[in-house]
Amino acid sequence: MQGTLSASVISSNNLGLTFETGDGPVVALSQINLDVKEGEFVSLIGPSGCGKTTLLRAIANLEKPTAGTLTVNNMSAEQARLARAYGYVFQASALLPWRTVDKNVALPLEIMGLDDVKGRVARNLELVNLGGFEKKFPWQLSGGMQQRVSIARALSFEPQLLLMDEPFGALDEITRDHLNEHLIRLWEQTRKTVVFVTHSIAEAVFLSSRIVVMSPRPGRIIDVIDNSLPGKRTLDIRDTSEFLAVAHRVREALYAGRSYAD
C-alpha cells in the first residue's frame, strides 16, 4: 500500500510539550520520536487526552513544543506554516455559513492570491464528489458533505501534506464508513502524505499504512504498527482475518499503554 517512500516529510526527535496552567505544569507530550515519509497515511490513535491532537497541532505550528526538535518538509513547523506546506481538516467542518460551497473552498486561494481559482475549486470539488453543489450553502448540506467540502478546501492549494483531526468523529456510523471509503480512494488518487487523528481502531486499520499508538498522558509513542493490508480496500476487508489481526495488535498496544501513564 505504501509504494516507494522517499525522505521524511515530518520528523520529530525527543519532542515534548508542557502546558503551564494555574495548577502547575501539564506534560502533554513526552519524548515523541516519529518520522512520516512522503506518501504515507499515518494514523495517531490513543485514549482521550493522550496528546494526539496536541501532536497534530504542533506539526501545524498551532502549539509550540517545549523540548526536542520538529521539522516539516525540512523546515521548522513555523516555516512550514508560513510556506503553507499543509492543509488542515478540523473536527468540525468550520465552513463559513454565509459563503457558498465554492466560495468556502476558494477562501485559502483568495488569501494566498493564487490564480485559476475557479479551476482549482472545480477540480477539488470533483475529487470529493461534490461537483454540482458549488452554489449550495453549508446549512443545505449533510454533515458528511460539509466535511467533504472541508477536505476540498484543505486540498485547494495543492499541499503535499494533509493533517486531519478526527474529521469524521461526530458523524453517524454509516456516513463515517462512506467517508472512510471515499478518503482512501482520494488518497490512492492523490498520494498525499496524511496524518490522521482517530479514536477508532477500525478506522485506523482501514485507512492507514502505519498506525501510531499513543499512551495516556503524558503522550508517548508506545507502538508503531505497519499495516500490510492490500492497497485496494473496501469495507468488506474489515471481516477478514488479516484485518482482525492488525486490529487486535492495535487493541493490545492500547491496553499495554495504560502502564505508561504516570
**Whole-number pLDDT of residue 6:** 61
pLDDT along the chain (262 residues), means of 10: 66 96 90 96 94 96 96 94 93 94 96 92 94 96 95 94 93 92 92 95 96 94 93 90 95 79 48
What are the two backbone dihedrals, phi and then psi, of residue 209, each rounded to the nearest 5 degrees? -90, -30
Predicted local confidence at residue 260, as pLDDT: 53
The reported pLDDT for the residue numbered 259 is 60
Which residues 6+ apart lie within 8 Å of 217 measured at CB? 26, 27, 28, 49, 50, 51, 261, 262
Which residue type is seen at 149? V
What nine digits make up the cell of 139?
Answer: 446549512
- Global pTM reads 0.92
The rounded distance, in Å, linking the Cα atoms of 78 and 65 is 11
| pLDDT of 2 | 46
Which of 51, 113, 63, 117 has its CA nearest to residue 88? 63
Q: d(Cα 188, Cα 185) in Å, to the nearest integer?
A: 5
In one-letter notation, the amino acid at residue 119 is G
